């Protein structure tokens, strides 16, 4: 067995939507530098594996990302798959999760599979997983709930920073952080989710991609500055002509990191709740029932199929038709929706009937957009 070593150098790869994880990586970097570990923070889009770290047990590789539906975000998953195979390079997997505070009660977030997923993948690539932990930061999930009050943001952040001050020196001393109360909490979530809905995290990743991006729109306050498009980490926003000005159009590349929503200076990005309800009904049309009924009426088709095919085949066929209809309906109806919101009356209707219109926005207070832009993006935008 390799002996535990103190690290000499570290690189922290970071994915961050609204700045929480970026801030955490800077706090860790500060602590590391204080312990004479030469550390640097690298955004995942700037990663250069051949120069960022060497294959050595003295070199710690940190992987930091937010939790999205109990998993790492898509961009982080792709990054983990891209990581090169290296033997015995120590790795630390950290997920920030969304905590809420109501009065004096702090409600912790849950990372579920997020850190374990990163740990298993890196383990399979030959790395030595030395530390796994999740950390409560103020929740940025503002398409679902109100943005936290600044006082509560401070309290949650201070608690996170204090926790890091205790934890990081232990990790830098080579201690293995695996069997902790924190990881037990996350394990319980994994068991609960597996038992309840076995495919929940995967389903979430797909639904968020298909559905959640397609409820985003800009309200009448949008001035068409294009900042949301320029700073989107996935280049998921297109600025398209919409009457007298340009408006953001959300594509399927969006992974719902909420950077655009959290940082828009005009508070113009909304996640249309009333539109989501309408979209739900549009996509739930029992299209296959109508199709079968029509075929049966015109060709007496259904009994023939039922005679030759097993119920399972018919069931799978139904399901496939539904998926095709779902994708088509989401795609087409977003185009119609996007056309309508250029008219102030429709825009006002969808804005005032969405809860995000009344919610506070959130981004990590000390993290500026320029901190979150990779080198290439900085060259293009700043």
Ligand X SMILES: Cc1cc2nc3c(=O)[nH]c(=O)nc-3n(C[C@H](O)[C@H](O)[C@H](O)COP(=O)(O)O)c2cc1C
Shortest distance (Å) from residue 367 CB to ligand SF4: 14
The reply on whether position 69 binds ligand X by CB under 6 A is: yes
What is the rounded CA–CA span in Å between residue 68 and residue 189?
14
String of DSSP letters for 321-373: HHHHHHHHHHHHHHHHHHHHTTSHHHHHHHHHTSGGGTSPP---TT--HHHHS
Q: Binding partner of residue 140 among ligand SF4, ligand X, none, CB under 5 to 8 Å per kind?
A: ligand X
Pairing status of strand 105-107 against strand 59-66? unpaired
3-class SS of residue 250: strand
Nearer CB in complex with ligand SF4: 86/214: 214
Shortest distance (Å) from residue 147 CB to ligand X: 11
Q: Which of 31, 44, 53, 97 binds ligand X (CB under 6 A)?
A: 97
C-beta separation of 45 from 95 below 8 A: no
Shortest distance (Å) from residue 216 CB to ligand SF4: 7
How far is residue 79 CA from its own chain's centroid?
A: 13
Considering only residues 120 through 159, tell me which ones interact with ligand X, judged by CB under 6 A. 137, 139-141
Nearest Cα to Cα of residue 214 among 143, 272, 274: 272
Query: What tokens does 86 get?
Result: 């290296």
Residues 6+ apart with CB under 8 A from 276: 211, 215
The reply on whether position 62 binds ligand X by CB under 6 A is: no
The reply on whether position 109 binds ligand X by CB under 6 A is: yes
**Residues near ligand SF4, by CB under 6 A:** 17, 213, 218, 222-228, 232-234, 236-237, 248, 250, 254-260, 264, 266, 268-269
Q: Which of 7, 27, 59, 70 binds ligand X (CB under 6 A)?
A: 70
Q: What residues are paired with 192 via a beta bridge?
A: none
What is the rounded CA–CA span in Å between residue 331 and residue 274?
17
Q: Binding partner of residue 201 among ligand X, ligand SF4, none, CB under 5 to 8 Å per kind?
A: none
# of chain residues touching ligand X (CB under 6 A): 26
Considering only residues 250 through 289, tell me which ones interact with ligand X, judged by CB under 6 A. 256-258
Shortest distance (Å) from residue 270 CB to ligand X: 15
Shortest distance (Å) from residue 261 CB to ligand SF4: 6
The reply on whether position 75 binds ligand X by CB under 6 A is: no
Nearer CB in complex with ligand X: 71/268: 71
What is the rounded CA–CA span in Å between residue 196 and residue 45?
35
Nearest-10 crossing angle of helices 114-124, 74-82:
10
Shortest distance (Å) from residue 106 CB to ligand X: 12
What is the rounded CA–CA span in Å between residue 157 and residue 159?
5
The reply on whether position 160 binds ligand X by CB under 6 A is: no
Q: What is the CA radius of gyration of the chain?
A: 23
What is the rounded CA–CA span in Å between residue 108 and residue 62?
23
Instruction: Give the interface with ligand X as residue ranges (CB under 6 A).
Output: 16-21, 66-70, 96-98, 109-111, 137, 139-141, 208, 256-258, 364
């Amino acid at each position: 067995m390799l002996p535990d070593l103190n690290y000499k150098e570290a690189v922290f790869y970071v994915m961050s939507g609204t700045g929480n994880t970026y801030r955490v990586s800077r706090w860790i970097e500060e602590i590391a530098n204080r312990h004479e570990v030469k550390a640097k923070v690298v955004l995942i889009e700037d990663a250069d594996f051949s120069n960022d770290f060497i294959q050595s047990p003295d070199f710690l590789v940190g992987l930091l990302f937010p939790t999205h539906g109990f998993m790492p975000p898509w961009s982080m998953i792709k990054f983990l798959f891209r990581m090169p195979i290296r033997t015995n390079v120590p790795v630390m997997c950290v997920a920030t999760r969304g905590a809420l505070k109501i009065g004096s009660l702090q409600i912790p977030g849950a990372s579920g599979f997020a850190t374990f997923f990163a740990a298993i993948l890196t383990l399979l690539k030959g790395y030595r997983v030395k530390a796994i932990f999740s950390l409560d930061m103020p929740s940025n999930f503002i398409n679902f709930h109100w943005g936290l009050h600044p006082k509560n943001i401070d309290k949650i952040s201070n608690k996170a920073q204090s926790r890091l001050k205790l934890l990081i020196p232990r990790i830098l001393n080579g201690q293995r952080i695996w069997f902790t109360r924190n990881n037990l909490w996350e394990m319980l979530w994994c068991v609960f989710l597996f038992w309840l809905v076995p495919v929940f995290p995967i389903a979430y990743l797909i639904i968020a991609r298909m559905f959640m991006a397609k409820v985003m729109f800009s309200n009448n306050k949008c001035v068409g500055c294009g900042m949301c498009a320029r700073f989107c980490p996935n280049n998921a926003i297109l600025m398209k002509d919409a009457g007298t000005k340009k408006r953001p159009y959300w594509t399927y590349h969006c992974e719902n990191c909420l950077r655009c929503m959290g940082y828009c200076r005009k508070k113009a990005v909304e996640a249309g709740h009333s539109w989501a309800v309408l979209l739900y009904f549009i996509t739930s049309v029992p299209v296959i029932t109508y199709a079968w009924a029509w075929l049966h009426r015109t060709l007496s088709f259904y009994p023939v199929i039922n005679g030759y095919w097993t119920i399972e085949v018919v069931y799978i066929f139904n399901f496939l038709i539904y998926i095709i209809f779902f994708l088509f309906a989401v795609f087409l109806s977003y185009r119609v929706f996007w056309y309508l919101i250029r008219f102030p009356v429709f825009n006002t209707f969808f804005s005032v009937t969405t809860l995000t219109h009344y919610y506070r926005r959130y981004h990590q207070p000390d993290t500026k957009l320029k901190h979150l832009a990779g080198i290439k993006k900085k060259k293009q935008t700043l």
